Amino acid sequence: MASIKKRADGKWRARYRDAEGKEHARHFDKKVDGQRWLDEVTASVLTGQYVDPRAGRETFKAYGEQWREAKPHRPATAKAVEQHLRCYAYPVLGRRSLSSIRGSDMQGWVTGLTKTHGLAASTVRTVYNTINAVFRAAVRDRLIARNPCEGMELPAIPRKKVVPLTVKQVQELAAAMPARYRALVVLGAGTGLRPGELFGLQVRHLNFLRRMVQVDQQVQQTAGHGVRVCELKTESSYRVVPLPQVVIDALAAHLEAFPAKPEEFVFSAPQGGPIVYTHFMDNAWRKAVKESGLPANTGPHALRHAYASMLIAGGESVKVVSERLGHTNAAMTLNVYSHLFPDSEDRTRKAIDAAFQDHADSVRTEVAQ
**Number of other residues whose CB lies within 10 A of the CB of residue 265:** 22
| Annotation: CATH topology of 167-340 | hpI Integrase; Chain A (1.10.443)
pLDDT attached to residue 149 = 96
Comparing CA positions, the residue from 298, 297, 330 lying closest to residue 312 is 330
Which CATH number does the domain 60-140 belong to among 1.10.533, 1.20.58, 2.60.40, 1.10.150?
Answer: 1.10.150
Name the residue among 183, 167, 277 with its Cα closest to residue 222: 277
Which pLDDT does position 20 carry in this prediction? 65
Please check whether residue 308 is in contact with residue 192, taking contact to mean a CB–CB distance below 8 angstroms: yes
Q: How many CB atoms lie within 10 A of CB 348?
A: 10
Cβ count within 10 A of residue 357? 11
Q: pLDDT 10s per residue in the chain (369 long)? A: 577 888 888 888 888 776 666 777 888 888 888 888 777 777 666 555 655 666 668 999 999 999 999 998 888 889 999 999 999 999 999 999 999 999 999 999 999 999 999 999 999 999 999 999 999 999 888 888 889 999 999 999 887 889 999 999 999 999 999 999 999 999 999 999 999 999 999 999 999 999 999 999 999 998 778 899 999 989 999 999 999 999 999 999 999 999 999 999 999 999 999 999 999 999 999 999 999 999 999 999 999 999 999 999 898 999 999 999 999 999 989 889 988 887 656 667 777 777 787 766 665 666 566
**Per-residue pLDDT, 345:** 65
DSSP 8-state symbol, 268: -
The predicted pLDDT at position 34 comes to: 81
Query: Does the CA dihedral 346-352-354-360 come out positive or negative?
Result: negative
Give residue limits of the domains in the chain. Answer: 2-50, 60-140, 167-340
248 φ/ψ angles, rounded to the nearest 5 degrees: -60, -45
Q: Which residues pair with 226 in a beta bridge?
A: 222
Query: Within its chain, how far is the Cα of 351 from the centroid?
Result: 38
Dist CA 323 CA 61 (whole Å) = 40
Could you give the dihedral angle defined by the CA atoms of residues 350, 352, 355 and 361, in that order, rounded to the nearest 10 degrees?
-70
Task: State phi, psi for 215 to the nearest 5 degrees.
Answer: -110, 110
pLDDT attached to residue 50? 57
> What is the predicted pLDDT for the residue at 272?
92
